[in-house]
Structure 1
Amino acid sequence: MNQLHAYIDAWRRHDIAGVLATLTDDCVITECYGPVYRGRQRVEQWMRAWFGVGGSVDGWEITSQATAGDGLVAEWIFSCTWQGEAATFQGATIARLEGEKIAYLREYATSAPLYDWTGTWRD
């Protein structure tokens, strides 16, 4: 298991200490919705706040992955409950290691369900 798997797995378990163990002290995490969390202390604050108001990671399935040098990438399907609303979306994470820990992680996600284009776009 690489550090990106460990990071994702700890989120699935709602394991704050497990997530923090994968990160450098001065990590930079950019969530797909826009917030940037700088440093493990800020990541811990984010996670405690998110879980504290009832946020829940209901599933996070890695569908493909690759490693190149100190870079890790994964595509995934993410399911969560936020403010009482369940959501599922697809996305990708790009991470960079320093030593054995994640120093940089950025998420990208779809804003709409994917579909096969057949000559016309959905409204």
Structure 2
Amino acid sequence: MNTAEKESAIKAYFNMWVQRDFSALETIFAPDIFYSECYGPEYCGLHEIHQWIDTMLQKQTVLEWAIKQFLHENNLVVVEWFFKEQQNNIVHGFDGVSIVEFHTDGKIHSIKEFESKAEHITPYH
């Protein structure tokens, strides 16, 4: 799988959240996927991923998941992004990074997310 195909798969996954359509998830994620969210929860396998998605669709609307850049290293892709969501009429956004692992089957086998506040300051300027 080349870098453009990996980037396309990641973009498609992020877009699923914005479009609220996960019908093609199995074409991107391996059945035994491991997913670690940036605030602690972890999911193992597509069954748990679907349970998590169903729960989140009930309470969250993803307004934006914008990719800033990709970094490639063999089967790993690091993607820097900005995420914006609404829950209970409150809009919240944050910056983040995901480490995405692809296997030779062309599917994502692991995602590990990390979060950073979107509001940055420069205290010594």
TM bracket (short chain): 0.7 to 0.9
Amino acid at match of 1:59: E
| Structural RMSD (CA) | 1.6
The separation in 2 between residues aligned to 1:36 and 1:66, in whole angstroms, is 23
CA distance in 2, matches of 1:32, 1:50: 15
Q: 2:113 aligned with 1:107, yes or no? A: yes
4+ runs of 1 displaced by more than 4 Å?
Answer: none
Unmatched 5+ residue regions in structure 1? none
Q: Are positions 1:42 and 2:48 aligned together?
A: yes
1:59 equivalent in structure 2: 64
Q: Percent identity over the alignment? A: 24
Q: What TM-score do you get using the length of structure 1 for normalisation?
A: 0.87
Give me the TM-score of the superposition, normalised by structure 2. Answer: 0.85
CA contact (8 A) 1:72 1:96 kept: yes
Q: Which amino acid aligns with 2:93?
A: T
Number of equivalenced pairs: 118
Match of 1:24 in 2: 30
The structure with the largest helix share of the pair is: 2
The one-letter code of the counterpart of 2:41 is P
1:11·1:19 contact (CA, 8 Å) conserved in 2?
no
